Structure 1
Amino acid sequence: MICRLLFGICVALSLLGPGVVARCAAAQICPSLPPPLQPSVQRILSSKPGDLFVVLKNGLTLLMSQKPNYDVVSAQVFVRAGSIYEGKYLKSGLSHYLEHVVSGGTTRSFTEDQAKERLKKIGGNSNAYTSHDRTVYYINTSAEHWKDALDLLLSYVSECTLEPTEVAREKPVIQQEIKMGESNPSNELWKLFLRTAYQVSPVRNPVIGYEEVFVRLDRQALLDYYAQRYQPENIVVVVAGNISPEAVLSFVADKTKDFLGTAGEFDAVPVEPAQSTTRRQEKEIPVARLTQAMVGFPSVDLNHQDMYALDVLSLLLGGGETCRLHCRLKDMENKVLSVSASNWTPSYTKGQFIVSFTLPPDEWPGVLSQLGEEIEVFKRDLVPMKELDKAKKTAMASHVFSNETVSSIAASLGSSYFSTGDPYYDDTYVEEIRRLTPEGIRSAAQRYLIMDRINVAATKPLSRQAAATPDTASCPPREASPAHMSKLDNGLKVLLKRDDSLPMVTMHLYGLGGLMLEDGDKPGIASLTSALMTSGTLTRTRQQILQSIEDVGGSIETQSENSTYHVSIKILKEDFHTALDILADIVRNAQYPEEEIEKKRQDTLLAIQRMDESWQAEIVRLFKKNYFEKSPYRNDRLGTRESVESISRDDLLRFHRRMVNPGQAVLAVYGDIDAEKTSERVRQLFGTWEQGEVKYPELPDETTQISANRVVEKKNEKGSAALFVGTNGFAIRNSRRATLDVLDAVLSGAGNPGGRIFEALRGKQDLVYVVGAFPFYGNNAGYFGVITQTTMANLDKVQGIILDNLRILAREPVPADELEKAKSQIVTAHRLHMESLDAQAGSAAINEVLGLGWQYDKEYLKEVQAVGPADVRNLAKELFAHTLIARTIPERPVEVLSVPPPSKSDVRAQ
């Protein structure tokens, strides 16, 4: 639901209760059930064709959405158990602690190890999260595994035994999670903002809790809370994908027939009193390099009618690159690195209209004053209808784009019902947006955007680190056809695929470029060139380009990567032809105006300044600098301060002509199109594009750089140590890529929690919070790496366990059952990734550009299935003979708190 979700946090909205019946829209029906299913159902909720929504006799709500043209399923379980409901355990993070133990834990039906094995068999795409008012567990898997997914999830929430060893193991894991958050400026800003904006409501406390309170929790607290909150009337189960709703209902009813609710009294959530003055808090953070700030205006909750106007007002003020704040503070005055606005409206407390900034520290006071000036304009003047229509179109497009995958469909149904009692709330939300008038927007601004009662929170660099601003120069069945590739006379390859399941079109133009095309004296030029491709053409200004796309709810992106560049546009069907014209204009006629170059130069310099704020980015950079010798992959995509300051307009134009040409490019257009007419239009727009030739520089092979064990270290100001264990690897077109990916799945779960290293470091012990592995495939270069963060006290032990696991893989064959589970994980993850048209188009285009072939995704799955135990062992023996280990060492290490003995006031002693 557009801007209210922009923070990357889960918007916490509470269940209204079991008595709420979904509202009936005209297109909704109340289906009948087969007689055998009727005794288990308390009532049927109204729904659209293909959907079935029921409340079972025990109070559990079940929402099912049949999508027969997908080959995957998403099962999600929402539980009304969040940090605001923790009662006497408030501030402890009890809900989040319980989620850690319940997700994948031992139940009356299976052990923790059995649950892990079952998850691996169905692909392993499972996780959970906790917010202020809910805990959500989900599994995304292939359609044939829907029953296993539901069996696991329902067992978690109805019959978890909370084994003492599992409870004890997760406590230090969460403590490390808390420490990680304390080193993240964005995370600390959100915590600081909530403590500032709320004085009474429990939303002021972090969901994860405070460590000094958290460490006092024991198993009995978890048992009591599980019994109190994990009741059927507090649970919503959602299943979307290629399912039979009747079969799902039959299974869930049977699985939960003995899951009966017990009456319980819940503590009321305190109401936040009205705010009458301004509140302000600032905090210095050692790892921060720029100021991040939030300004909040007390607003309304989810059920207030003014919410819609405030949502649109946030779009008008800070909802994209053509919004008012961005135009003034970024484009005209270049005082901020970024600015955005959103309207956060939970259902359990009054929300906040929030404006967020990232900027140099010395710009902050003036920017706050300018925010007030822009708000006064909204309170005084009516918004022009053209500007208001743009915001409405953005809301509609966001709704369409958010329904591309079954996981997003399930999340929308579940969250909507959980929050409002209406599974189709997202649909009605858009209709309410359409009814808004300029008068309504002005009235909302006058009522809520009051500058003398704002909440201001900011995180800043330490005073000695504060950097000045760099000098600035002036559900019907899907109708889809197979993709088809053709080639224009100038060498441009064109991929077209018709799919009218949604009224949208996605376009990706990929070409050779990125880091691999850079000369040694201009690092960062590929990134700067790509970023400025939309800065203006012969006939369009940057503002006109962005307005043509954003004003109709679309999105446009240009990016330089390791070996490629791309331009991507996602747009509604009705605006497709305009978007295609703009895409052609950008790649053929980009002009790189001097004023736009200077703005982007300053942005890039600020981004370079804060590269090492992220521990992951810092440790990977350290490894690459010491692994690669001549390959451009050793460089940062953004470049260096010296190179970025020296790049001229002529440099950019030359690099554009060298990189952006049809000879080594692929254009993929997928969606609701007429393929024949689109093909002709592409020929008209791109057929006369002058042909060129793109060649990577001649570089030696850098896939076997490690011939002896080495360790490199760097000291930093973070509280925890980071570790990267790297080995030799493969180039992108190596025939054994699938084998290395299977090895990765065995070792680390292939992107999902799991695998041998995860079990060794977190499953069996409590040494890390996050650990993963990945292969890097480049042009004539590659490596494999394991990455983690831990305390200084555990660093050597963690390193030893990782090395032991690498040696075991090189020495012993992977058991056949474990290997099959690893391959299943890869296949499931791949299917889920390729669900959306956007992913299909982008993947086909980049695979063709890199020489893998546009149909490589189909061949890849066959290669994965063909991998055998000997293949994995032989590869491990070859790659893991030696390691290059990178370590970042904190100058002031922070260890987790030990559990104190219980006292009379301790909840454990009561």
Structure 2
Amino acid sequence: MNKYRIIHQTESRLISELDNRLIIIAERMPAAPVASAQIWVKTGSVFEQEFSGSGISHFLEHLLCGGTTSTRSEAESNKILGKIGAQKNAATGLDTVRYYINTVSSNINTAVELLSDWIINASIPEDEFLREKEVIISEFSMGEGEPGRILWKLTHQALYSSHPARHPTIGYIDEFLKITRDDILSFYKRMYLPNNMVFVVSGDIDPEKITSLIADLWNQIPAGELPEIVFPKNSPEVSSLPIEGKADIGRPQIRLAWPGTSLGAKHDYALDLLGVILGQGDYSRLNRKLRDSERIVSSIRAYNLSFPWGEGFFGIDAEPAPHPEGWESSIKVAKSAILREIKLILKEGLNDEELERAKRMVLSTAFSSNQKVQESASNLASNTIDSSDPDYVFNYASQIQALEEKDLLNAAKKFLDSDNPLEIRLVPLADDEEIEPLERVSTEDIKDNSDHRKIILDNIATIKTLKNAEVKERGRGKIGDFEYHSLSNKIKVILQQSDVVPAASIQIYVKGGIFADPQGQEGIGSALASMLKRGTQNYTAEEFAKTLEGMGAALSAANGYNTFYITGQALSEDFPKLIEMTAEAYLRPTFPEEEWETMKARIEAALARETDSWYGEL
């Protein structure tokens, strides 16, 4: 009798199922002697059912990751982790909880056994339950005034008035405090079933041996009946009035949000490209015009969020620049300019150059996100859960390349042709004000919605789709040995060939850093780093961004503690041009006065943001 059934097998990857419908993905990445073992469970905050709003998924994650089991104590697990030099962690999202152990490949069997023990045999003793409860209470306190969290919570409460996505992942403190150990055990037994999980191991491994080991550990764990999840199909009624929150910040922040589409649905990919064109990268429309030319925002970003369980939103986040008449005026000016640029796209369309730039950036990001074993394992798991396609990120990048201007304009007309998007404001507290914890939306305010979406958690549908899918051998390449060279000017050069992905990177390190900043001019090294791309002997700042992002490449500089460094990445075919651009930035910057005035305002805004969060003050 076979331990497992093969769904797909290539030279570098084995995808299998067990009788209990656990999906196992083992991928060989021999580039370095490391590996990552991960278990993903379909049980984030939107799947908490009668516990919705309590944060029970997040609480359980704290208790399982490294906790006591029926076979070993928490201390014994920690001792094993230390012995194998492993790193472990876990995280809870809206629709998944994930656990991982990263270690050297020679110890991956131990990591797989340990991770399996935590998930299969958790005992959740009373003392650990009480201890982690106190830890999470502290997390509530630390996150209460975090601007990003407040903005996210306000957005979801506004967009998902009748959907569990309106609740924060951590829950509400009053409901969290009601969770009992019996609640935790009940939820654990209900949701932590093999037919609701994906087990991925990626790294310098033997896929067949790892799959066999996992099968030995999990084959005797029975599948179970998972709850039926039914969500209302979300049809948000966008408020005509701004939704306002307050935080201990120096400058206001705004988010404009348009109700969007679900993952992979019609217009989803077009909205992704519109986000890149509008507000990702220095050469994007909003950064080039509103931030750099008109200087009415100090930062701005556009993006599209979509989910496998329902509709997301198209968002534009901005920090308006100060206005003589106060922050009300600064918000009004910024919002008006953003809407103006969207109307311009609807009226005049897009040019081929910016469309190709956006496509190139998406392609480069797809490759760069799969270079490390932990990233690769995470992508395999999330892609399989979200779309039943382990290679979704690569197939997505390919489909993006086929989009035309008309596709993006159709998406813009359907979703962005509105002068009244949802407006969420985060404004500074008055001197005598304190932050008030966000409260649950009253159930009395939720309208009944007879139009529902049924969510099937069981892996059975995913397995069926995987069996019918066409899987291509992508190869996982190898990394060569280091080569050491010394140039005539005594610059030391280290080269290493890699064919893991069709991309290349460059790094330059110079002794210096903040320890070398002159007294009284602390921060000058960081200011210099920010200006290297803002004008050179052969490129204006706009031309530099246009050339770089046209390749989908990235180049950045920073000032560390004892080094000044530049890092860059591009697709392999563009690497010679990236080297040229890196040399241009490092050897021939001109520091134009006008560009410095623009950058100075951005640096001042960034410095002001440093104290917006408690950890920024450390």
TM-score w.r.t. length of structure 1: 0.61
Query: How far 1:277 moved relative to its partner?
Result: 4.8
2:204 to 213, 224, 242: 242
**Equivalent residues in 2 for 1:525-540, closer than 5 Å:** 525-540=524-539
Tell whether 2:175 aligns with 1:213.
yes
Query: How far 1:480 moved relative to its partner?
Result: 4.1
491-500 vs 182-191, which deviates more?
A: 491-500
Matched residues in 2 for 1:249 and 1:499: separation? 27
TM-aligned CA distance change 1:274 to 1:177, over 3 Å: closer
Aligned position for 1:400 = 367
Tell whether 2:572 aligns with 1:577.
no
SS, match of residue 580 in structure 1 = helix
Aligned position for 1:364 = 331
Aligned position for 1:566 = 565
1:344 to 305, 315, 340: 305
Percent of pairs with identical residues = 29
Aligned position for 1:262 = 224
Per-residue CA deviation, residues 352-405 of structure 1 (Å, 9 max, x unaligned), is: 011111234352111111111111122223311121111111111111111111
Is the CA contact 1:76–1:137 (under 8 Å) kept in the aligned structure 2? Answer: yes
- Structure 2's unaligned 5+ residue stretches are 322-326, 434-473
Matched residues in 2 for 1:571 and 1:455: separation? 36
2:391 to 401, 410, 424: 424
Aligned position for 1:252 = 214
Aligned position for 2:268 = 307
TM-aligned CA distance change 1:75 to 1:260, over 3 Å: same
Tell whether 2:35 aligns with 1:81.
no
SS, match of residue 567 in structure 2 = strand
**Equivalent residues in 2 for 1:137-148, closer than 5 Å:** 137-148=99-110
Matched residues in 2 for 1:516 and 1:116: separation? 37
Aligned position for 1:897 = none
TM-aligned CA distance change 1:279 to 1:57, over 3 Å: farther
Query: How far 1:450 moved relative to its partner?
Result: 3.2
Tell whether 2:491 aligns with 1:485.
no
Tell whether 2:523 aligns with 1:551.
no
SS, match of residue 509 in structure 1 = strand
Matched residues in 1 for 2:271 and 2:122: separation? 42
**Equivalent residues in 2 for 1:463-862, closer than 5 Å:** 463=430, 476=475, 478-619=477-618
Matched residues in 1 for 2:228 and 2:70: separation? 27
Per-residue CA deviation, residues 42-73 of structure 1 (Å, 9 max, x unaligned), is: x4323443111011101111111112342011
Query: How far 1:487 moved relative to its partner?
Result: 2.9
One-letter code aligned to 2:294 = E
Query: How far 1:248 moved relative to its partner?
Result: 1.5
- Structure 1's unaligned 5+ residue stretches are 1-35, 467-474, 620-910
Matched residues in 2 for 1:612 and 1:530: separation? 22
Aligned position for 1:230 = 192
Matched residues in 2 for 1:262 and 1:580: separation? 55
Is the CA contact 2:105–2:205 (under 8 Å) kept in the aligned structure 1? Answer: yes
Query: How far 1:464 moved relative to its partner?
Result: 5.1
Is the CA contact 2:32–2:479 (under 8 Å) kept in the aligned structure 1? Answer: no
Matched residues in 1 for 2:519 and 2:70: separation? 61
Query: How far 1:336 moved relative to its partner?
Result: 1.6
1:381 to 325, 332, 348: 348
Per-residue CA deviation, residues 309-341 of structure 1 (Å, 9 max, x unaligned), is: 011111011111110010111110112221111
Tell whether 2:286 aligns with 1:325.
yes
SS, match of residue 265 in structure 1 = coil
Matched residues in 2 for 1:112 and 1:429: separation? 41
Aligned position for 1:106 = 68
Matched residues in 2 for 1:405 and 1:565: separation? 25
Aligned position for 2:418 = 451
Name the Cα RMSD after superposition: 1.9
**Equivalent residues in 2 for 1:16-27, closer than 5 Å:** none
Aligned position for 2:116 = 154
Query: How far 1:493 moved relative to its partner?
Result: 2.5
One-letter code aligned to 1:397 = S
1:65 to 4, 13, 27: 27
Is the CA contact 1:381–1:442 (under 8 Å) kept in the aligned structure 2? Answer: no
SS, match of residue 352 in structure 1 = strand
1:53 to 15, 19, 34: 15
Tell whether 2:84 aligns with 1:117.
no
Query: How far 1:222 moved relative to its partner?
Result: 0.5
Aligned position for 1:891 = none
Is the CA contact 1:297–1:450 (under 8 Å) kept in the aligned structure 2? Answer: no
TM-aligned CA distance change 1:279 to 1:132, over 3 Å: farther
Per-residue CA deviation, residues 553-575 of structure 1 (Å, 9 max, x unaligned), is: 11110112222212221111111
Query: How far 1:586 moved relative to its partner?
Result: 1.8
Is the CA contact 1:65–1:241 (under 8 Å) kept in the aligned structure 2? Answer: yes
Query: How far 1:476 moved relative to its partner?
Result: 4.2
Matched residues in 2 for 1:62 and 1:399: separation? 23
Is the CA contact 2:31–2:500 (under 8 Å) kept in the aligned structure 1? Answer: no
Query: How far 1:451 moved relative to its partner?
Result: 2.6
Where do 4+ consecutive residues of structure 1 move more than 6 Å? none
Is the CA contact 1:380–1:442 (under 8 Å) kept in the aligned structure 2? Answer: no
161-170 vs 130-139, which deviates more?
A: 161-170
Is the CA contact 2:86–2:104 (under 8 Å) kept in the aligned structure 1? Answer: no
One-letter code aligned to 1:170 = E
TM-aligned CA distance change 1:424 to 1:610, over 3 Å: closer
One-letter code aligned to 1:327 = R
Aligned position for 1:411 = 378
TM-aligned CA distance change 1:601 to 1:69, over 3 Å: closer
508-517 vs 305-314, which deviates more?
A: 508-517
Q: Which has the larger radius of gyration?
A: 1
Query: How far 1:269 moved relative to its partner?
Result: 2.4
Query: How far 1:296 moved relative to its partner?
Result: 0.9
Query: How far 1:477 moved relative to its partner?
Result: 6.3
Query: How far 1:274 moved relative to its partner?
Result: 4.6
Is the CA contact 1:480–1:499 (under 8 Å) kept in the aligned structure 2? Answer: yes
Is the CA contact 1:289–1:465 (under 8 Å) kept in the aligned structure 2? Answer: no
Per-residue CA deviation, residues 191-212 of structure 1 (Å, 9 max, x unaligned), is: 1111122111111100000001
**Equivalent residues in 2 for 1:4-23, closer than 5 Å:** none
Alignment size in residue pairs:
572
Matched residues in 2 for 1:47 and 1:356: separation? 43
Matched residues in 2 for 1:507 and 1:425: separation? 28
TM-score w.r.t. length of structure 2: 0.89
Is the CA contact 1:296–1:353 (under 8 Å) kept in the aligned structure 2? Answer: yes
Matched residues in 1 for 2:237 and 2:267: separation? 18
Is the CA contact 1:186–1:292 (under 8 Å) kept in the aligned structure 2? Answer: no
Q: Which structure is higher in RCO with an 8 Å CA cutoff and minimum separation 6?
A: 2
Is the CA contact 1:85–1:269 (under 8 Å) kept in the aligned structure 2? Answer: no
Matched residues in 2 for 1:578 and 1:93: separation? 49
Matched residues in 2 for 1:171 and 1:386: separation? 53
TM-aligned CA distance change 1:534 to 1:237, over 3 Å: same
Matched residues in 1 for 2:333 and 2:578: separation? 37
Matched residues in 2 for 1:167 and 1:524: separation? 45
Is the CA contact 2:251–2:427 (under 8 Å) kept in the aligned structure 1? Answer: yes
